[in-house]
Structure 1
Amino acid sequence: MADEFEKMGENLRAKTGKGLDEWVATARATGIAGHMALVNHLKSEHGLGHGYANMIVHAANASSSLSQDDEALVEAAFDGAKAHWRPLYDRLTLLVQGFGDDVELAPKKGYVSLRRKKQFALLMPSTKDRFDIGLALKGEEPAGKLELAGSWNAMVSHRVRIAAGEDAEGDVADWLRAAYDRAG
């Protein structure tokens, strides 16, 4: 993921003639506090696309998960009351990595994205009592624990909720494999 961030920074310089550090200084100099207000300002005043403007604002606010160590993000997601979910996460990532050597684990704040050519799943210790598995299975009919994601997360179409004390066995492996296959 850091490579993608660097490439986007290189593309920003090629497109605008200014590097990320220069854009961060420009963004900070505006004095605009709100994230979206600053994104919109960069888009309207400087003609930047949303992706570039958003990247600049994250860098200006030092809030981007791209700048943090991946393991630190995973540790933070499983901190405190959510620590008991770590063994489930470890089992699921081991399972998914067995699907192929093209699986990328991309930790974010609060969850881990599972990617191939595109995101196909996410693993999220949502609360101390629930672990969510998001799946990109557009068109799949809900069945059993597989439900439509609805407004829960726009990056996936389905979700499986695992309650404390339950295990993610049975169909979960099949759904993860189906999502992996579709992302190839």
Structure 2
Amino acid sequence: MASPEEMAQTMRNNIPEKTGKSQAEWNLIIKAAGLEKHGQIVKMLKTEHGVTHGFANLLSSDFLKDGAPEVSGDDLVAAQYEKKPDLKPIYDKLLKEVKKFGKGMEIVPKKAYVSLRHNKQFALIQPSTKTRLDVGINLKGTEPTARLESSGSFNAMVSHRVRLTDSKQVDKELIEWLKAAYTAAG
């Protein structure tokens, strides 16, 4: 069972997806409102912005914590590769390619991976070991191959996984799988 802090962190990770804005954007809205009491902030977020009670409560609490560190997407990515620097060039090359897919492409860093979204998640990039980066891809209905393996226990949010150990493996075949998943998600 997750601890209360782990549950709160899971909610924090889901703020952009569930509320449509990042925690930093909500902090600016709260600051602009000039409210200083928890209940007032919760009420404002719920009534003026349609935020559910749980997220309004968390956003208000975090905002009111004096000096609470704000974690950016860049900070989350940097933390993922801090002890796995050899994998960062693979990540960078993947990102460069998927950014070419078009409008509606979202790159959403989480604590342990980066979610790639186009209306919904179509892939994720995760540095799984010091020597391997895993790319999870949503390609339901596609038969696994030796390289495009079934996700199995890797991650329930994707149907397939490709294991990468070198930036040369970010090739046409992988990009075509990612593009198909991107198209299906939009």
User: TM-score scaled by structure 1?
Assistant: 0.65
2:75 counterpart letter in structure 1: A
Size of the aligned set, in residue pairs, is 145
What letter corresponds to residue 85 of structure 1 in structure 2? L
* Kept in 1: contact 2:90–2:166 (CA 8 A): no
**Amino acid of the residue matched to residue 70 of structure 1?**
G
Percent sequence identity over aligned pairs:
41
Partner of 1:68: 71
2:152 to 133, 146, 150: 150
Cα distance, 1:119–1:147 mapped onto 2, change above 3 Å: same
Displacement of 1:129 in angstroms is 1.6
- Is the counterpart of residue 95 in structure 1 residue 97 in structure 2? yes
Over the aligned positions, Cα root-mean-square deviation in angstroms equals: 3.4
- Mapping of residues 31-180 of structure 1, within 5 Å: 52=54, 56=58, 68-80=71-83, 82-163=84-165, 167-180=169-182
Does structure 1 conserve the Cα–Cα contact (< 8 Å) formed by 2:131 and 2:165? yes
Say if 2:87 and 2:165, in contact at 8 Å, map to a contact too: no
Tell whether the 8 Å contact from 2:90 to 2:167 is kept in structure 1 after alignment. Answer: no
- Cα separation, 2, equivalents of 1:165 and 1:176: 16
Per mean C-alpha deviation after superposition, the further-off stretch among 70-79 and 165-174 is 165-174
1:4 and 2:21 are equivalent in the alignment = yes
What is the TM-score when the length of structure 2 is the normalising length? 0.65
Output the amino acid matched with 1:158: H
Q: Unpaired segments of 5 or more residues in structure 1?
A: 11-16, 22-48
Instruction: Note closer, same or farther for the CA distance 1:168–1:144 as it changes in structure 2 (3 Å cut).
Output: farther
Aligned match of 1:182: 184
1:128–1:164 CA contact under 8 A, matched in 2: no
